[in-house]
Amino acid sequence: MKRKPLILVTNDDGITAPGIRALIEVMNELGEVVVVAPDSPQSGMGHAVTVNSTLYLDEVKIDDGPQKEYKSNGTPVDCVKMAISEILEHKPDLIVSGINHGSNAAINVVYSGTMSAAVEGSIQGIPSIGFSLMDYRWDADFEPAKHFVRLIAKDVLQNHLPKGVALNVNIPKLPLKEIKGIKVGRQAKSNWEEEYDRRVNPHGRTYYWLTGKFVNYDSGTDTDLFALDNKYVSVVPVQHDLTAHNFIKEFKRLEK
Residue 5, amino acid: P
Please state, in angstroms and rounded to a whole number, the distance separating the CA atoms of residues 71 and 83: 10
Does position 182 bind a second copy by CB under 8 A? yes
Tell me which stretch binds a second copy (CB under 8 A): 30-38, 88-96, 171-179, 200-208: 200-208
Site for a second copy in 147-176 (CB under 8 A): 151-152, 155, 159, 162, 164-165, 167-168
For a second copy, the binding residue among 2, 61, 198, 203 (CB under 8 A) is 198
Contacting a second copy (CB under 8 A), which of 22, 119, 145, 149?
119
Instruction: Write the CB contacts of 79 (distance below 8 Å, at least 6 apart in sequence).
Output: 10, 36, 37, 38, 72, 117
Q: What's the rounded Cα separation, in Å, for the pair 214 and 238?
A: 21
Cβ atoms within 10 Å, residue 14: 16
Element (H, E) at 235: strand 232-239
Number of residues that bind a second copy (CB under 8 A): 80
Q: Which of 16, 124, 157, 214 binds a second copy (CB under 8 A)?
A: 124
CA distance 179 to 45: 30
The stretch near a second copy (CB under 8 A) out of 21-29, 62-70, 79-87, 139-147 is 79-87
Site string for a second copy, 22-41 (x = CB under 8 A): -------------------x
With a CB cutoff of 8 Å and minimum separation 6, the contacts of 157 are 5, 30, 31, 93, 94, 127
Q: Which is nearer to a second copy, 175 or 220 (CB)?
A: 220
**Least distance from C-beta 31 to a second copy, angstroms?**
20
CB nearer a second copy, residue 66 or residue 181: 181
- Name which of 145 and 167 has its Cβ closer to a second copy: 167
CA dist list (Å): 14 to 92, 114, 202: 21, 10, 30
Integer Cα distance of 150 and 219 in angstroms: 31
Least distance (Å) from a second copy to the CB of residue 158? 11
In the complex with a second copy, which residue's Cβ is closer, 23 or 107? Answer: 107
138 scored as a contact of a second copy (CB under 8 A): no
